[in-house]
Structure 1
Amino acid sequence: MENPFTTPGVQFNQTENLNHFVFGWFDYVFFNLLLLVSILIGVYFGFFSKQDSTTEYLLGGKRMGFFPVAMSIIASHISGITLLGIPAEVFHHGTQYAACIITATLTAVITSYIFLPVFFKLQLTSTFEYLEVRFARPVRILSSVLFTISLFMYLPIVIYVPAIAFAQVTKLSVHMITPVVCIVCIIYTSIGGLKAVVWTDTIQFSVTVGGLVTILVLGVLSVGSIEEVWRISGEGGRLIFFNMDPSLLSRNTFWGTTVGMTATWLGHLAIHPGAVQRFLSVPREIDAKHGIVITAIGMIIVKLISVFTGLIMFAKYHDCDPFLTKAISRTDQTLPYYVMDVAGHLPGLPGLFLAGLVSAALATMSAGLNTVSGTIYEDFISPWVPERSRKEATAANIMKAIVLITGAISVGLVFLVERLGPVFQLALSMRGVTDGPLLGLFVLGMLVPWANTKGVLFGSGVGLISMFWLVGGAHWYTMHGKMKFDSLPTSIDGCPYPLNETLTTATPTPVWIEAAEEPMALFQISFMHYTLIGSTIVVIAGIIGSYIFGVDLESVDPDHITPIMKR
């Protein structure tokens, strides 16, 4: 029987449990062309541009323009987790994430006036070097270890997202696709350094946005009109913008998206070595602030497009959910399914969109690899390199080798990710363990002049133990099926073809498996708050510890404190 979701010119593979719309040769051409361009950019900057020092390799010689730098930051932040995760989040949980407009604005203001002035004045190669000059080397080493762990928890998720999308529209497995895509990213990042990363990010981001907008327009046309999308979404209970529930247990509220996610975004932008590294690659501080404004605007645009894409998907499949019909095996695959549905009859367009999806992952991965190479070299390898061998060219070569090694490790960790839950929730909760304490360290350094080394280390220990216990416990209950967040209902009542009688006609509301085993309230806290909770614990414990071990304000360098606290 012919599946009604297929469109002329698109093949439908019914031989497997997970149905596939299959790529045509035009799609493969667009996809491979983007990978080739990325490699060529890396080769150009690696062999025809100066890359013989850490300043050139990590900061692009401090001659970068603020616009490509902003595009690079947006591209590295807008990963496949955004492009796949947010539409799926809206499809199943509503549009509360649209409050990210406030989140982005708050993040830009706080970054520009609290964190950036200190970093720009000190001009340090690594943001973690700040923690050494402000406190002591053990604090720097601790932060570097936390960041490296965070990266290794995050990058496999970033890589896995486009892999499952690509596997859905080809006959290749995730395990075949992942190494190929990663090798391309590792090559151009290790050869070309920051310049290659920034320019490939800019090109890839353009492709991503172009694909997003095109699919958006086609989706609206397939439903009928924007008014129809809005009407169906409203009737389906998806239009949620001001859920003012103050409970930390609610999965996604206005407060969680604005306050909780602001802390998360500060961890990704204000203090993240990759973002700060790009802000410092421009000549002047005002250029960096211009870059932050463009970054905020760009992120708002892409996030809102992703939110509206989720509404279009709901309007199209509200009465025939492809997850309930077993057309897809994970909710994260709803977007690729939708893309092939509305654009599969246009040769090359699905390939362009998937190229954009992979581009987003490449941008995030390349930024992470470039940053972690500098962090590992500066904090763990450089002190052990003999002075006579510590040449700039040698350092750049060592960092290229680190990119290769860390990239390979990330590929290996991808195979663990597929055993876990939805990528949006997974990405935020996993990084909450390390990103919260990291943000707390920098808040103590710049905003708490009386914080001292012993107090900060005490606060970090308390914060890390607390977050490992909180996030680890929540994940344990989730993996054992004892805890799930409610999702809004969908249906298969409108499917125009017979379905297996065992399929339900609505999304069941998740419940606790056994009332007697209901997790304690702390483990039910929404993942949206993890970074905020972690940073708050570190700051409070750090302040208490600093008073216990003795306050010495006279030893604090004013340049290490943010301008708004100097008085």
Structure 2
Amino acid sequence: MDTTMSTSLPTFGNSMLQLTFGWTDYLLFSGLLGISLLVGFYFGFFSKQDSASKYLFGGKHMSYIPVFTSILASMLSGITFLGIPTEVYFHGAQFIVTLIPNFLCCLIIAHVIIPLFYDLKLSSSYEYLQLRFSRSIRMLASTLYIVSLLLYIPVVMYVPALAFSQVTGYGIHTITPVFSIVCITYTTMGGVKAVIWTDTIQFFFTIGSLFTVLIIGIYGLGGFSNIYNIVNEGGRLDIFDSNMSPFGRNTFMGLTFGMLFGHLSRIGIGQKFIQRFLSIEKKADIKKAVYLMMFGWQVLLTSCILTGLIVYAKYHSCDPLSAKLVHRNDQTLPYYVMDVARNIHGLPGIFLAGLVSSALSTMSASLNSLSGIIYENFVDRWIPETSKKDATAACIMKWISVLIGAITIALIFVIEHLGTIFEIANSLSTIVDGPLLGLFVAGMFFPWVGTKGAIIGGSVGLTIMAWIVGGTQWHIINKRIHHSVLPTSTEGCPYPLNETVTSVTSKPLAPEDEPWLIFRLSFLYLIFVGMTITVIISLIASWVAGETDLQKIDPRHVVPFVKRFLPKKNYVTVPLKDIIPEKVML
């Protein structure tokens, strides 16, 4: 078998060859979906998920090895797998600096968030807000998280559907229901055990396909030195953009500072991650899972960035988007895989199986978490206390998962009309992610914030972020906001095109059509902005409402270094005779 890859696009006559799946690819891809269903059936029938604890936490006896693998699989969603290489292809390798906030985020999770939650013996990250503030704050935060995931899951499922449509010709709206139904089935049947073990199996599909494509790409382009020369000439290695402007798309400050708060919001307090961490029995094992996750996260992120550079090196003189080989820039990577692996039977199927695996793992974890949050916060109090309540709870949560899956399928019709995958994923959910993080930050680090202040702060933060993000997306849809990309070319295409694309420019807008500055803020800063607004408004509102009495704060509800600001308890000396019952006094 000849695996040597040309740097030009495949041709057939006067046009480029449209690359599609073969029967081997379909067989391997179907095998993945079949295995996922079998795991769900196994845990559904032979390891009964007939209680809330078993369905959500696996009885809290999970090993840290499959848990960290499951979490890592969820993090390597199609947004990471497909979105980051696309980001690097069009905007350069600046994304490599996110290794810094990834490291810092994991340190904060391991040494601040997890110890606090574990010592309080929480079953939900939102249970903390009830202990620190009130049930109303917990309900508000749970609602925000539900909205956040409902906005995020459709993006996750849209990614593999987009890739599958590119290589098979099936429509996106035909593909997404199939993927979603498979995921809903094994998640509802098997609970968190099925989620964790299918994630583990799917993870090996994902990393196997990723590293196989990397090796073939490096070999086909003549090694690292040749790749380096091409991407360097194309400006893809200009990594450290020192521009301090908050309007720059991929600046060093935005990628380090902004992404840190994004990770903390989605991973540090996200229920779908906290739930799996808390399914581990020992605190020491939870920290092991966090550090293993961090190491794997850094390796996978670096691999995705390298993949983006390899794809650019392959098509630096004949961009598939400009050559009309793909309809969206997010389809460049799937086309690349079909191109370089067309002589290796089954490899395209493995790649797409890996891409679908990453999406399924994220969706299944989200469905499982959302079902628990919705039940615990909005349904549980309406279910009468009987001997069968636990089994009823598990059944209700399964039906909630089905309903959420149906909503996800419907929302995909909206997602396809927005921007790139990476930008959508980091914009839409920030409407609620920033205010949500702000509530936790206010509770853990600011003991002067009370219940009324937190409610007002969260509500104001949510309103302002909805206005900012909604306005930004409106301007993007109406072509009033454009993000420039690095130059691409069609000069080396093997057949003549009507035009050669060397740069992407936009027609200047009239002054009256220019968006306000707030709508041009980089999406990387949105979560930080939402968090800051929520914390500041919470502090002001609490001061106005007179809720700053630190005597009422339980020291267990704040992080250790904040406890020094709390007043020391005053103990009153009581004479012994005052506490001895009269009948025993002599």
1:554 aligns with 2:551: yes
Q: 1:470 aligns with which of 468, 471, 479?
A: 468
- Equivalent residue letter for 1:562: V
Alignment partner of 1:456 is 2:454 = yes
1:429-487 Cα offsets, whole Å, 9 max, x none, are 00111101111111111111121001111111221121111111111111100111111
Q: How does 1:437-456 map to 2 (within 5 A)?
A: 437-456=435-454
Distance 1:511 1:53 in 2: 59
1:565 matched to which residue of 2? 562
Query: Equivalents in 2 of 1:358, 1:298: separation in Å?
Result: 19
Cα distance per residue 1:371-428 (max 9 Å; x no partner):
0000000001111112237711110111011111111111111111111110100110
Q: Which residue in the other structure is 2:341 paired with?
A: 343
Match of 2:527 in 1: 531
Find the aligned partners of 1:240 and 1:432 in 2 and give their Cα distance. Answer: 28
Q: CA RMSD in A?
A: 1.7
d(CA) in 2 for partners of 1:290, 1:391: 35
Is this contact kept in 2: 1:55–1:61, CA < 8 A?
yes
Aligned to 2:362: 364
Give the whole-Å Cα distance in 2 for the aligned partners of 1:429 and 1:564.
Answer: 33
Q: Which amino acid aligns with 2:526?
A: Y
Aligned mates of 1:452, 1:170 — CA distance in 2: 55
Please give the residue correspondences for 1:123-522 in structure 2 after superposition, counting only pairs within 5 Å: 123-388=121-386, 391-499=389-497, 501=498, 503-522=499-518
TM-score by length of 1: 0.96
Aligned with 1:172: secondary structure?
Answer: coil
Tell me which amino acid in the other structure corresponds to 1:212: L
Letter in 2 for 1:278: R
Answer yes or no: is the 8 Å Cα contact 2:8–2:314 preserved in 1: no
SS at match of 2:487: coil
- Superposed CA deviations along residues 80-122 of structure 1, whole A, max 9, x for unmatched, are 1111111110011111111121111110111112211111112
- Classify 1:511/1:557 alpha carbon distance in 2 versus 1 (closer, same or farther; 3 Å): farther
SS where residue 21 of structure 2 aligns?
Answer: coil
How far apart in 2 are the matches of 1:341 and 1:347?
A: 12
Query: Is the Cα contact below 8 Å between 1:512 and 1:518 reproduced in 2?
Result: no
Amino acid at match of 2:196: V
| 1:235 CA displacement | 0.8
Deviation per CA, 1:498-543: give whole Å up to 9, x if none. Answer: 22x2x34313223543343111211111001111111111111111
Gap change, CA 1:512 and 1:192, over 3 Å in 2: farther
User: Given the two structures, how large is their TM-score scaled by the length of structure 2?
Assistant: 0.93
Per the alignment, in what secondary structure is the counterpart of residue 266 of structure 2? helix
Residue in structure 2 matched with residue 5 of structure 1 by the alignment = 9
Which amino acid letter does the alignment assign opposite residue 391 of structure 2?
Answer: A
CA distance in 2, matches of 1:242, 1:556: 44
* 1:26-37 paired onto structure 2 within 5 Å: 26-37=24-35
Q: Distance in 2 between matches of 1:504 and 1:473?
A: 34
Distance 2:508 2:461 in 1: 29
Structure number, greater radius of gyration: 2
Deviations 1:214-262 (A, max 9, x none): 0011111222211111111111111132112111000011111111001
CA separation in 2, counterparts of 1:375 and 1:360?
23
Rate the CA distance shift 1:5–1:384 in 2: closer, same or farther, 3 A.
same
Q: Is this contact kept in 1: 2:8–2:318, CA < 8 A?
A: no
The 3-state SS of whatever aligns with 2:426 is helix
Q: Which runs of 4+ in 1 moved over 6 A?
A: 11-14
- Given candidates 32, 35, 39, the residue that maps to 1:41 is 39
Deviations 1:16-35 (A, max 9, x none): xx974110111011101011
Q: Distance in 2 between matches of 1:250 and 1:180?
A: 39
Percent pairwise identity: 48
